[in-house]
Chain A
């Protein structure tokens, strides 16, 4: 009984304390609180890794981006001055790392076109089940042909178009935030996305 009363009392007192917004987390991490830094990392790292993994189709590259991104965050966090949202700041770091890697990859591929398959990199669509040859349009949608086509279009996008498409279509980020992360205007991000979606539509037009 007594404990219950105590718990209720604590709840009332704690209501104000329980609010731990991101700003105070960042402040604490800046002061050297490792728990706070961990919480910050964990609120974003799944998305960061997912983005790198799907952009680069390689566990190894995704792993490198993850390490490098959060190491930079760790080193630069003391200088973070809340001029932008933390997520924008983080995605700026991640976006730049991914862009560099995609560009490097393009160069590598042009030098040695077979590298993509021989290095054991995974096909982004390998887990999509092959559908039966029925005529149900919904199922046909996921047929390998469509998937291969999508894969080709994604690979044919410029690094920046690819990144913007990733951030908008897959990560669900707003164009304004994408612009901020890439250091361009919202309008420029929108144009980039427009080109990407046009290429996608053109390539898939005869299938759907």
Chain B
């Protein structure tokens, strides 16, 4: 292989798009040719430089797009419904419709949930009081949260099926209402309910709220719920317990989008870039070891924006 041949293949080599024989030939040439090794280093440099300018989507934009889509599809389904074999329940889009398949899915995620939280659940069993008060156990015992919505002026409306339906309305200052919301945030049947509950809790402070959000970030089987909870934890980004949990998301969550959001939460307070020495250390670690290209570069970008990190690279 000539130097020219090798060099025209370097980008494809970096992208992993050469077939086995071509890759072998390039590697063999590189092993013997200092000139092409330099060319490879330059190739890597522009690859990295090009990636560094890549921007992540503002979280608001994603949330707005989803909301708009919900409205569009609702209108669409309303116009179409006579032709659809099954009626689409867009009134509660992004919630489970009680057909058999989704019931199975729900059972599936419920079981994953138990796998993580089972121990905790069992510990709570002694304060079981069916019928009178809400807690996770009463969800298991037959009560089912059908819907949860903020209803303006800080009030929350929760629709509970309990043989017959009952409705609980009030603000989070009402302990009873708050307990229902804290139960809803763990509703094993419906990720939609959990997302909405997290959103409601995001407006409230307190250790119980923080713990509920942390629990979702760490244990929810649904990535959308984890993301929502992570965003809600932004208010608590000064708190050491929260920061530790976020670091563990960075190390463990399988979803790159979650890890990217965690990086941003870790590096900010009140919408500004604030990097504690520990956070900077975590980001430096990630910049070296993270598998996701985008995320590695995001860490580098943040570190570069932060003057404390200057001199390390």
Are B114 and A7 within 8 A (Cβ)? yes
| Stretch in contact with the other chain, from A83-91, A104-112, A131-139 | A131-139
Min distance, Cβ B116 to any Cβ of chain A, angstroms = 11
Q: Which of B43, B95, B305 contacts A35 (CB 8 A)?
A: B95
Cβ of B281 within 8 Å of any chain A Cβ, yes or no, is: no
User: In which size bucket is the chain B interface?
Assistant: 35 or more
User: In the assembly, what is the distance between CA of A7 and CA of B304, in Å?
Assistant: 48
Cβ of A67 within 8 Å of any chain B Cβ, yes or no, is: yes
* A208-B62 in contact given A128-B53, A175-B17 (Cβ < 8 Å): no
Cβ of A120 within 8 Å of any chain B Cβ, yes or no, is: no
User: In the assembly, what is the distance between CA of A31 and CA of B88, in Å?
Assistant: 9
Q: Which of A33, A59, A146, A193 contacts B102 (CB 8 A)?
A: A33
Q: Which of A31, A132, A197 contacts B86 (CB 8 A)?
A: A31
B39: nearest chain-A partner, CB-CB: A201
Please name all residues of chain A whose beta carbon is closer than 8 Å to the beta carbon of B104 when the two chains form the complex. 17
Cβ of B279 within 8 Å of any chain A Cβ, yes or no, is: no
User: In the assembly, what is the distance between CA of A128 and CA of B93, in Å?
Assistant: 38
- Contacting residues of chain A (9-26) with chain B, CB-CB under 8 angstroms: 10-11, 14-15, 17-20, 24
User: In the assembly, what is the distance between CA of A147 and CA of B47, in Å?
Assistant: 12
Cβ of B166 within 8 Å of any chain A Cβ, yes or no, is: no
A176: nearest chain-B partner, CB-CB: B17
Are A35 and B102 within 8 A (Cβ)? yes
Please name all residues of chain A whose beta carbon is closer than 8 Å to the beta carbon of B93 when the two chains form the complex. 34, 38
* A31-B94 in contact given A141-B45, A141-B48 (Cβ < 8 Å): no
Are B46 and A204 within 8 A (Cβ)? yes
Number of A-B contacts (CB under 8 A): 186
- Contacting residues of chain B (53-93) with chain A, CB-CB under 8 angstroms: 53-58, 61-62, 64-66, 68-69, 72-73, 76, 84-90, 92-93
Are B57 and A150 within 8 A (Cβ)? no
Contact with A along B90-134 (1 / 0, CB 8 A): 101111110101101101111110110010011001000000000
* A200-B50 in contact given A35-B192, A142-B304 (Cβ < 8 Å): yes
Cβ of B42 within 8 Å of any chain A Cβ, yes or no, is: yes
Please name all residues of chain A whose beta carbon is closer than 8 Å to the beta carbon of B20 when the two chains form the complex. none
Are A128 and B52 within 8 A (Cβ)? yes
Q: Which of B54, B69, B191, B313 contacts A170 (CB 8 A)?
A: B54
Cβ of B11 within 8 Å of any chain A Cβ, yes or no, is: yes
Are B69 and A70 within 8 A (Cβ)? yes
Cβ of B224 within 8 Å of any chain A Cβ, yes or no, is: yes
Are B49 and A208 within 8 A (Cβ)? yes
Please name all residues of chain B whose beta carbon is closer than 8 Å to the beta carbon of A201 when the two chains form the complex. 11, 42-43, 46
Please name all residues of chain A whose beta carbon is closer than 8 Å to the beta carbon of B105 when the two chains form the complex. 20, 28, 35-36
User: In the assembly, what is the distance between CA of A53 and CA of B62, in Å?
Assistant: 11
* A33-B97 in contact given A18-B111, A71-B72 (Cβ < 8 Å): yes
A165: nearest chain-B partner, CB-CB: B50
Are B53 and A124 within 8 A (Cβ)? yes
User: In the assembly, what is the distance between CA of A11 and CA of B115, in Å?
Assistant: 7
Please name all residues of chain A whose beta carbon is closer than 8 Å to the beta carbon of B118 when the two chains form the complex. 4, 7
Are B15 and A42 within 8 A (Cβ)? no
Are A128 and B97 within 8 A (Cβ)? no
Cβ of A82 within 8 Å of any chain B Cβ, yes or no, is: no
Min distance, Cβ B219 to any Cβ of chain A, angstroms = 14
Cβ of A169 within 8 Å of any chain B Cβ, yes or no, is: yes
Please name all residues of chain B whose beta carbon is closer than 8 Å to the beta carbon of A31 when the two chains form the complex. 85-86, 99, 101
Cβ of B203 within 8 Å of any chain A Cβ, yes or no, is: no
B interface residues, Cβ below 8 angstroms from A:
8, 11-12, 15, 17, 42-43, 45-58, 61-62, 64-66, 68-69, 72-73, 76, 84-90, 92-97, 99, 101-102, 104-105, 107-112, 114-115, 118, 121-122, 125, 191-192, 223-224, 257, 293-294, 301, 304-305, 310, 313
A interface residues, Cβ below 8 angstroms from B:
3-4, 7, 10-11, 14-15, 17-20, 24, 27-28, 31-36, 38, 41-42, 45-46, 49-50, 53-54, 59, 62-63, 66-67, 70-71, 74-75, 124-125, 127-129, 131-132, 136, 138-139, 141-142, 146-147, 150-151, 168-170, 172, 174-175, 190, 193-194, 197, 200-201, 204-205, 208
A-B CB contact pairs (8 Å), 12 listed: A10-B114, A18-B109, A28-B105, A33-B102, A35-B102, A35-B105, A42-B224, A59-B61, A62-B57, A71-B73, A131-B304, A200-B50
